[in-house]
Amino acid sequence: MNPLLQPFDTAPFSQIKHLHFKPAFLKAMEDARAEIDAITDNKAVPTFENTIETLEFSGQQLSRISSVFFNLNSAETNEEIQKIAQEISPLLSEFGNDITLNSALFERVKAVYEQKATLKLSVEQTTLLDKKYKSFSRNGANLEEDKKKRLREIDAALSKLKLKFGENVLAETNKFELHLTKETDLAGLPDGAKEAAAQLAKSKGKDNGWLITLDYPSYIPFMKYATNRELRKNLSLAFGGKAFHKDALDNQENVLKIAQLRHERAQLLGYQTHAHFVLEERMAETPEKVYDFLTELLEKAKPAAEREFDQLTKFAKERDGIDQLQKWDGSFYSEKLKQELFSLDDEQLKPYFKLENVINGVFKVAEKLFGLQFEVVNDIDTYHEEVKTYRVYDLDRNFISIFYADFHPRAGKRGGAWMTSFKSQYIQNGTNVRPHISNVCNFTPSTPSKPSLLTFNEVTTLFHEFGHGLHGMLANTQYPSLSGTSVYWDFVELPSQVLENWCYEKEALELFATHYETGELIPMELVQKIKESATFQEGMATLRQLSFGLLDMSWHGGDPSQITDVKAHETAVFKDTYLYPDTPETCMSTAFSHIFQGGYASGYYSYKWAEVLDADAFAYFKENGIFNKEVATKFKDHVLSKGGTENPMVLYKRFRGAKPKVEALLERAGLLTTL
C-alpha cells in the first residue's frame, strides 16, 4: 500500500519509501487529469462554481505529494531522491502544460471571465477568476499549436536544468573540505568554533584535527575570526567558485541555457523579456521601474559604501599593514573594526542566544502580537530526528497550524534558510482546513561542551523565516492558491523582514536573551550596542544586495543570446558596485540558486523593495509601541491573513493608511546623510 496515495493529514514520513514516489506522482496526475476532464466534459453552462472553483480544488492529492517530495529534495535529499526529481520534474511540467494548453478548459474559463462584470463575485472570487484566466493567457493558451509544442519543450528542459543547477551547487558545497591538523591554523577562532570543527572532523571519519566546510556555520566563523589570511583566501575562493571549475559540476552552461530558454519562452508568449513577463504580476510592474528603484538606492548607498570601504581599508592598513583589501579580508576586518567602534562582537552576544531560548522568544513575540501559543508535540511524523514539531493555537484554543522546525546543517540539506509548506490553508465545505508550515535553517549546532549558540545574524535569520511562517500559519482565505505566502513576490518578504526589527528592541530581547549558563538577562549596554551597530557598514551591505538585484535583471531583463562568457558578463554588470578587486577564480551566477533554481528570477530586487515596506511598517509599530495590539491586529487582519486575495498595495494601505515611503528605509539604514 502506497502511503502517499492514502488520505493523510500530516505527512507520513516514516512510512514513505523512495519507491513510493514515482507511482504516487503518476497516479495523482492521472486522477487530476480525470478531474480536469470532468470539468471540460460538463455539458452545463460554465459558471464560477462548476469551472473556476472546481479547477481550484482539483489535483489536491498531487499538490500534497509534490510538497512532501520537493521539500525532502531540499532538506533531506540523496542521490536516489535527486534521480527521481530528474524523472518527475519534466512529467510535472508536461502536466502543467496539459492544463494551461487545454483549449476546452480555457474556453470554459474564458466564458466565465467574460461575464465577470455580471457575476456579483466577492473580492477574493474576483481575484481567483483573474488569476485563473491569466494562468492560461500568460502561459500559452492563445498560441498556435506549433508554438504550444515548443512551449512544452522549453518547460520540460527548464525543469531539468534548474534541478541540475541545484544539485551541482549542493555537490560542490559537500565536496569541499579544509582539513587542518595544526592548531596554529585556527588562531583567532573562538573556542566554540574550534570545538565544532573538531566535532565535524570526527563525524567525517578524520582521525585528528579540525574540519572547515562551506556550510555557513563552519564557513562564516572562519572568515570572520581566523587570522591565517592564506587559509581565509583558500576558503573564500572555494566558496565563491562553486560550480565554476569547468568540470562535471560546472554550472556555466546551465546558466546560459536557463537564461536563453526563459527569454525564448517570454518572446513566444508575446513579452519582450522574461523580466517583462514576470513583472507584469508584481508590485513593481515593469523592468524600467525596477531599474529606477535599484538606481535610486544605488545613488544613495554608493557614497556611504565607498566611505565605509575607505574606513575599513585604512583600519586594515594601520592594524596589519594590508595594502589592498581582498574579499577574504572583508568579514575579518569588519568584525575587528566593529569591536573597536562599538566594543561589540558576536562572541559576546552568543551566550545570550541559545537556540532554544531564541525559539521560545520568537514564540513569545508571536503570542504578544497575535495571541498565538506553540505547544511542542512528539506524535507528528518527521523526515529527520532533528526536526521538532508544534501545534499552534490561539488564545481561545482554536487550532491554527502545525509547525515544523529544522535548524541544523546536514549533508542532504541545501544551504541557506527558507520557509515552506506541507499543506495549504483553505475553506471547503464549511471547514477551515489549517496549514502545515515549516522553517528550515542551517544554524550553528551544539558541541559536547556548549548548546547551539546563535550569532546575532542567525537570530535575525530565525526571526525572518518565522515571519514567513506566520504569513503561512495565520492564513485565512477561501482558496489555496491565494492563501498564505501566495502573494506577489515583491510583497512576500514584508512579513519576514518586518519581524527582524524586534531583534533590536529592548522590550523583545528581554523576553528571551538570557545567558545560557547564568540565566542573566542580556545587559542593556549590549542591547544599546546592538542598536548602535545596526547601521554599521549598511552602505556596503546595501551595495552588495543591489549588485545581486542588478545581476538578476541583467540575465532576465534583456536578450541573453549574445552572452557567451558568464564571468565576463557578470564582471561588466558589477563594475558600478565593485569595492573589492575581482577574483577571476570566482563567479556569483554559477551558484546564484535564488534566481537559477528558486523563484527569484527577475525578483531579487524584491528584498530591497520589501525593506521599504518593512521599514515603513515598523515605523508604524514604533510610533504606537512595538507590542501595540491594535497595530498588530491590523497587520494580521490586512496583511498576514489575507494572502494574495487583493492587490498588495491595497492591503498595505489598509493596514498603514498610506503608501510606504522610501525615506523610512533610508533613515533606518543611516543613508539619509548621503543626500
Give the residue from 470, 468, 478 showing the smallest Cα distance to 646: 478
The residues facing 453 across adjacent strands are 354
CB 473 within 8 A of CB 403: yes
DSSP per residue over 232-298, as a string?
HHHHHHHHHTTT-SSSTT--HHHHHHHHHHHHHHHHHTT-SSHHHHHHTTSSS-SHHHHHHHHHHHH
DSSP per residue over 506-525, as a string?
HHHHTTT-B-TTT-PBPPHH
The residues facing 211 across adjacent strands are 179
Place of cell 568540470: 247
Instruction: Tell me how far apart the alpha carbons of residues 154 and 376 are, in angstroms, rounded to a whole number.
Output: 45
End-to-end CA gap in the chain: 67
**Measured CA angle at 672 (ends 669, 675), to 5 deg:** 140
3-state secondary structure of 307: helix
Phi, psi of 178 (to 5 degrees): -105, 100
What cell was used for 27? 497516479
Instruction: Tell me how far apart the alpha carbons of residues 336 and 365 are, in angstroms, rounded to a whole number.
Output: 32
What's the 3-state SS for 137-174? HCCCCCCCHHHHHHHHHHHHHHHHHHHHHHHHHHHHHH
Phi, psi of 140 (to 5 degrees): 105, 0
| Distance set, CA 606 to CA 181, 272, 534 (Å) | 44, 21, 21
> Residue 428: CA atoms inside 13 Å, Cβ hemisphere, count?
13
Instruction: Tell me how far apart the alpha carbons of residues 321 and 301 are, in angstroms, rounded to a whole number.
Output: 28
CB 555 within 8 A of CB 574: no
CA 448 and chain centroid, separation: 31
Instruction: Tell me how far apart the alpha carbons of residues 224 and 252 are, in angstroms, rounded to a whole number.
Output: 29
- Our answer to whether residue 465 is catalytic in this structure is yes
Phi, psi of 249 (to 5 degrees): -100, 15
Residues making up the chain, counted from first to last = 675
What cell was used for 292? 529606477
CB 359 within 8 A of CB 462: yes
Instruction: Tell me how far apart the alpha carbons of residues 526 and 339 are, in angstroms, rounded to a whole number.
Output: 12
User: Residue 631 burial (CB < 10 Å; 0-12/13-18/19+)?
Assistant: buried
State the Rg of the chain over Cα: 25
Catalytic residue among 56, 167, 308, 465: 465
Active site amino acids: 465
